[in-house]
Amino acid sequence: MPETIDLLLLGAGQMITSRTDGKGPLRGENLACAGIVRDGAIAVADGRILAIGTTETVKKEMGKRSVSKIIDVEGRVVMPGWVDAHTHVVFPGYRADEYEARIRGDSYLEIEKRGGGIKRTVEALRGMEEEELYEISRRRLLKMIRTGVTAVEIKSGYGLDLENELKMLRVISRLAEDMPLDIVSTFMGAHQKPPEFAGKGEYVKFLIDEVIPEVASLGGVKYIDVFCEKDVFDLDETRQILTAGKEYGFGLKVHADEIFAIGGTELAVELGAVSVDHLTKITETGIESLSKSDTIGVLLPGTSFGLASTLFAPARKLVSAGVAIALATDFNPGSSPSLSMPLTISIACSQMGLLPSEAVNAATINAAYSIGMQEEIGSLEKGKKADIVVYDVEDYREIPSRAGTDHSVIVIKEGSVVWEIEDYKSRSEVGF
C-alpha cells in the first residue's frame, strides 16, 4: 500500500458493491445479490480502489498512512457509477412533436413513413457543423454525470453516409478524450437505410465495401451494431454487415426483437455478439438461445416508456431462464429522450418486475460486461477504477421508489470528484 491515500470515503450506511468475484455476469438468483456492506469505506490511490470493506476494516488496513482527502458520507448510500451501455448521445435536436403524435395514436413505423423518426434526425445532423455537434453532445454528458453515470457507450447512426458517420465517430472520440467518463464508441451505420440508396442491397454493399474499412482506419471504435428489424435490415443483411465488421476486428452488437421478432437474437448468439439489445418481442426460442450463451441481453425500458407503450421486455422471464441482462437508457432524440439512469431503474422495477437490487446490478456490473469493461468498472472491488457515487438516501431502494428526484450528491471518477452538490447535508433528510 502506498504511503499516501488520495481519498478515503467512509461512513456509508449501505455500500452497494455489485461484485461478482470474477464469476462472470450476474444471472438468475445471483442477480439480486447487491453485495451490501454496512458502515462501508473505500480507500483510493492512483484512481484505483486500494481497500474496501467496513470503515473499521479499511482504517485498520491503512494504518497510519496519510490521507489527502476524506469524505464522510454519514450514513448515506454509496454505489458504483452507472454504466449506460446503450445510447445515441450524439444528435442535433429532439423530436418532441413525435412524442405527442404517439400519444395521439401514431405508431413508430407510421411516423417513420412520413419522414419522421431516424430519417428526420439524419437530415438535421447532416446539416450541423462538427463543432456544434460536439458541444451539444458534451453538455448532455455533463447532465448524465450529474445522475451518477461514469461510463457510457455511444453509437453513431445518424449520418448514414461516409462523411457524416465519420463526423459522428470523430465527435465521440473527442468526447472520450475530453470528458471524465469512460466512453465506448460503436459504429451503427446500419441504423436505417437512407433514401439515396433505393436499390435492394446497395446500402449494405456500400457499408461493407466503403464505410467499414474507413471506420476501421479511423481507430477508436470498439463495436459494430445493426438494427435487425422488419423493413430495416433483415437477417441476411445483418449477417453480412456483422461478418464484415468482425473481419475488421470490431466486436458485435445487435438491435433485435424490438418491433417484430425476426430471429435477430438467435443470430446475435450465433455470431458471438457481446450484446443483443431491446428484446421487447423476444420469443421463447430467443430466450432459450440467449440463456445458453455469453451474450448479454440489454433491456431498454425507457424506450417503451418514451414510445407511450405498455409493452416491455419480459425481464422476469429472462432472469428466470438464466439470461444475463443489463439495463441502459437508449438515450436518443425520439423514442427515448431521457438520459436518466435512475428513471430507467425505476421503470425497470415498476413496469418490468425487477427487484431494486436486480436493476442496480443490471445497470452496473452486467452493463460493464455488455461493453467489455467488466475488469475495470461496474462494481466496487479492490483494483478496479474508483468510480463511486454518493446518494442522499439511507436505503438504495429509495432511488427507484422515489422516482423523479435526482438523489446523487457526489460523483467520483477514478478517485476524483467530478461533480458535487455544495452544502447538500444542510438540505438532507438522512439521519432524521
Q: Residues 252-276: pLDDT tens digits?
A: 999 999 999 999 999 999 999 999 9
pLDDT at 308 (0 to 100): 87
Strands (E) located in 295-370: 296-299, 325-327
Q: What is the C-alpha separation between 157 and 118, in angstroms, rounded?
A: 9
The predicted structure's pLDDT at residue 323: 98
Would you state the pLDDT for residue 73? 97
Q: What percent of the chain has pLDDT over 90?
A: 90
Residues 6+ apart with CB under 8 A from 8: 41, 42, 43, 44, 58, 62, 67, 69, 70, 71
| Domains of the chain and CATH, by start | 4-80+380-427 (2.30.40.10), 83-370 (3.20.20.140)
pTM over 0.75: yes
Query: pLDDT (tens digit, 9 = 90+) per residue, 186-218?
Result: 999 999 999 898 777 999 999 999 999 999 999
**Which residues in the chain land under pLDDT 70?**
1
At 41 the pLDDT is: 98
Contact 341, 351 (CB under 8 A): no
Q: Tally Cβ neighbours within 10 Å of residue 222.
A: 18
- Single-letter code of the amino acid located at 256: A
Span 25-70, pLDDT tens digits: 999 999 999 999 999 999 999 999 999 999 999 999 998 899 999 9
Report residue 275 as a C-alpha cell. Answer: 450484446
| Nearest-angstrom CA–CA distance, 374 and 29 | 20
How far apart CA 35 and CA 14 sit, in angstroms, is 10
